[in-house]
Each structure stands twice: as C-alpha cells, then as structure tokens.
Amino acid sequence: MPARARRERKQEAGRGRPGVGRLRRLLGRFGPELFLIGLLALLLAAPRWLQGQAALEWGRYHAEGAVSVRRPDHHVRELARWVRRAMERLAPLPDGAAAVRLSLHTAEVIRPAHPLLARRLSGAVANDIASLDGGRWRRLGLSELEAEARRGAAATPALP
C-alpha cells in the first residue's frame, strides 16, 4: 500500500496528528543548524566544567590530607584555593555547592585539634562565596552555606 494512501486512511480515521508533519518539515529544514548550535554550546561549556571537576578532585585530595596529617597548614591553604576555583567554575551547579560542603566538613573535623585553621578555612570560604561574581544566579543555593561558613568562623574565638 502506498504511503500516501496509508496517511489518508489514518487521517480519515482520526488517528493522524496534523501538527507532526509541520514539525518534521521544520526539523528537516533547520535540524542541522540546531545540531551545530547545540554542539557549539557544548564545546564552549565543557572546558569550564572539566576544570571545575578537576578543582573539586584536588579539593578532595587536600581535604583528606588536612584530616590525616599532624600539621595540616599546607593542606588547608590548598583546600581553600581549590574550593574557590571549583566554585568559580561550577557555581550554580550542584558540584559547586559540594565543594563548599567539603571544605565546611573538613573545617568541622579539624576544629578540635586546629581551631584557628578551621576558622581560617571557614572564613575564606564565606568570603569566596560573597565575592563570587555573576549576581544572584551564580550564588544560587550557596547563601545557606555562606551563613554556615560565617557561623563556623565565628564559633572559634580569635587569638588574644
């Protein structure tokens, strides 16, 4: 049975979707252009995301080092640095908030043994969130974490 006869029979029976043909024609005409635009957007966003993921992994490495060594000064400094870089690259994606949570958790773990380092780490994270440029959109979901970081920095008294 020819395709035209099948199509006419479906439309007569009420089972045909008249808007689908128009959509197919539009996609047939503009499909390659839409595909190339999507591919270009992906290629522009991928390096930033990959750099953010690498920064998050370095942050995880230094968080583990800060918890496991006796003198975590270097690891805390590097953790703050890599968390800032991960936030800059990944915010407002969930991995940006995961980097902040990682540093806040590390600060809580090292607080009993190294209260000043924990205060420094929490304060650095809070300041980094506050200085994140891009408006409210970039800080989406980070305001609660910023408040938690400020509370963590205030929980440890400064040296007299």
Q: pLDDT tens across 54-77, in order?
A: 999 999 999 999 999 999 999 999
Q: CB of 106 within 8 A of CB of 67?
A: yes
Q: What is the mean pLDDT of the chain?
A: 85
pLDDT at 85: 95
d(CA 76, CA 126): 15
Residue 97 carries which side chain, given as an amino acid letter? A
Model pLDDT for residues 10-58, shown as the tens digit of each residue: 665 545 556 667 777 767 777 788 788 888 988 888 899 999 999 999 9
pLDDT at 17: 59
DSSP for 64-125, please give it.
Answer: HHHHHSS--HHHHHHHHHHHHHHHHHHTTSHHHHHHHHHHHHHHHHHTTT-HHHHHHHHHHH
The most distant pair of C-alpha atoms in the chain lies apart, rounded to whole Å, by 92
How many of the other CB atoms lie within 10 Å of CB of 135? 8
Tell me if residue 136 falls in helix, strand or coil. coil
Sign, CA torsion 88/90/96/100? negative
Which whole number is the average pLDDT over 85-97?
90
Tell me, rounded to whole angstroms, the distance of Cα 28 from its chain centroid.
35
Cis before 92? omega within 30: yes
pLDDT at 127: 93
d(CA 87, CA 71): 26
How many of the other CB atoms lie within 10 Å of CB of 82? 23
